[in-house]
């Protein structure tokens, strides 16, 4: 299990560079889910939910940290700073790489760079 987790985090770090905050400082100590922040994107909880909604309208369904329950204040206390999106490291390597590609595409689209993702809904590993 620990080797699978290590490979998943290494995959996230390699393929998420410039997209998500995924350096060694953000490596979780236990579990397979983490909540990395978008490297460039919304700065507040409300902005993150709006960004996720816009990404969903372009075909990518993702889960921002504030949508997992609790109040905005509780999320700020647990995870200060910009909100993150949930990433599950237990999925197969190829699935994680594909999902990060979709997230990168959606990020570029929302910033006005690149092509529109397909209308077919995709899911960031939940």
87: β partners: 34
Across residues 68-90, what is the average pLDDT? 78
Per-residue model confidence (pLDDT) at position 126: 39
Judged by DSSP in three states, 16 sits in coil
Q: How confident is the model at residue 66 (pLDDT cuts 50, 70, 90)?
A: low
Q: What tens digit of pLDDT does each residue of 81-120 get?
A: 777 888 888 888 898 898 888 888 888 877 754 334 444 4
Residue 123 burial by Cβ neighbours in a 10 Å radius (0-12, 13-18, 19+) = exposed
Q: What is the architecture, at CATH level 2, of domain 2-123? A: Alpha-Beta Complex (3.90)
CA distance 88 to 26: 14
Closest to 103 in 3D by CA, of 42, 66, 56, 65: 56
Higher per-residue pLDDT: 40 or 67: 40
By DSSP bridging, strand 60-61 and strand 122-123 are parallel
Domain boundaries, the chain: 2-123
Per-residue model confidence (pLDDT) at position 69: 64
CA distance 18 to 120: 25
Is 124 a residue whose pLDDT tops 80?
Answer: no
CA torsion 105-70-46-64 (nearest 10°) is 0
């Amino acid at each position: 299990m620990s080797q699978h987790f290590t490979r998943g985090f290494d995959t996230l770090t390699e393929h998420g560079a410039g997209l998500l905050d995924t350096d060694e400082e953000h490596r979780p100590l236990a579990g397979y889910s983490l909540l990395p922040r978008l490297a460039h994107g919304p700065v507040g909880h409300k902005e993150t939910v709006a960004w996720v909604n816009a990404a969903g309208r372009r075909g990518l369904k993702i889960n921002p940290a504030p949508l997992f329950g609790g109040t905005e204040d509780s999320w700020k206390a647990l995870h200060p700073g910009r909100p993150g999106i949930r990433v599950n490291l237990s999925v197969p390597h190829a699935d994680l790489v594909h999902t990060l590609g979709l997230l990168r595409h959606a990020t570029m689209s929302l910033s006005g760079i690149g092509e529109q993702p397909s209308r077919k809904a995709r899911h960031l590993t939940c």
